[in-house]
Amino acid sequence: MKHQSLLLTSLVTVFFSACVNQKNLPTTVQKIDPLRYAGEWHEIARLPNTFERGLVAAKATYSLNPDGTLKVVNEGLKENGKTTSIEGTARFVNLQEPGKLKVRFNRFPANLFEGDYWILDLNPQYTRALVGSPNRKFIWLLSKNPNDQKEDFKEFIKKAKELNFETGPLYFNAKRIN
């Protein structure tokens, strides 16, 4: 089942990436310090998606690799208490556009494809982020503080709307992973 889910995730990501109108892309952050970005990010909210179906909490941990890429460890907590985990690598696509990254996960078949991971907004303290995809099908509100709530992300939700993301169906996680 895990392999089927990963395959579906990879195929969906590739399909939606191919369908993006290159003229109307959302803007990303213009500067990022990978060392400051590294750390544990708790998912506060997301647009519903197939690969996180059934999760009530999720977090991603980033650490800097010697080659300048980021190691990614995604963890999820399902409604039934079971946990999921997958590791991968995020790479900066272009140094002129540091907010645009590509992520590839290690397990087959997810390792066959890269997905878009665009940092759309980031507070100066590197404690809250708005991350999405160029096709606007995916969006995440992330925080390094697991106690942050919806109210703490009003400006990020406003920014997502300005970038033409649909924010009405945002799913706010009921729990956090420690």
Task: Tell me, yes or no, whether 178 lies in a domain.
Answer: no
Structure-block tokens of residue 110:
């997810």
CATH number for 12: 2.40.128.20
pLDDT at 114 over 80: yes
In a domain, 177, yes or no: no
> How much is the pLDDT for 23?
65
Residue 72 inside a domain? The answer is yes
Burial (Cβ within 10 Å: 0-12, 13-18, ≥19) of residue 25: middle
On whether residue 53 sits in a domain, the answer given is yes
Q: What is the pLDDT confidence band of residue 20, given thresholds at 50, 70 and 90?
A: very low
* pLDDT score recorded for residue 165: 97
Residue span of the structural domain in which 13 resides: 2-172
130 in Cβ contact with 121 (< 8 Å): yes
**Tens-place pLDDT, residues 68-111:** 999 999 999 999 999 999 999 999 999 899 999 999 999 877 77
Single-letter residue type at 38 = A
Q: What is the pTM (predicted TM-score) of this model?
A: 0.85
Mean pLDDT, the chain, integer: 88
- If one counts the domains in the chain, the total is 1
Residue 3 has pLDDT above 60, yes or no: no
Residue 61 to residue 170: CA distance in whole angstroms: 22
Put residue 7 in one of left, alpha, beta given phi > 0 → left and psi -120 to 50 → alpha: alpha
Cα 78 from Cα 174, distance rounded (Å): 11
What is the pLDDT, as a whole number, of residue 12?
43
* 42 occurs within a structural domain: yes
Using an 8 Å Cβ cutoff, are 122 and 29 in contact? yes
Asked if residue 13 has pLDDT above 50, the reply is no
Q: Which residue has the higher pLDDT, 74 or 18?
A: 74
pLDDT greater than 70 at residue 126: yes
Asked if pLDDT for residue 9 goes beyond 60, the answer is no
Instruction: Output the pLDDT for position 56.
Output: 95
Instruction: Tell me whether residue 87 is in a domain.
Output: yes
Q: Helix or strand or coil: residue 68? A: coil
* Residue 109: per-residue pLDDT: 75
The residue among 33, 52, 25 whose CA lies nearest residue 132 is 25
Strands 83-92 and 70-78: antiparallel
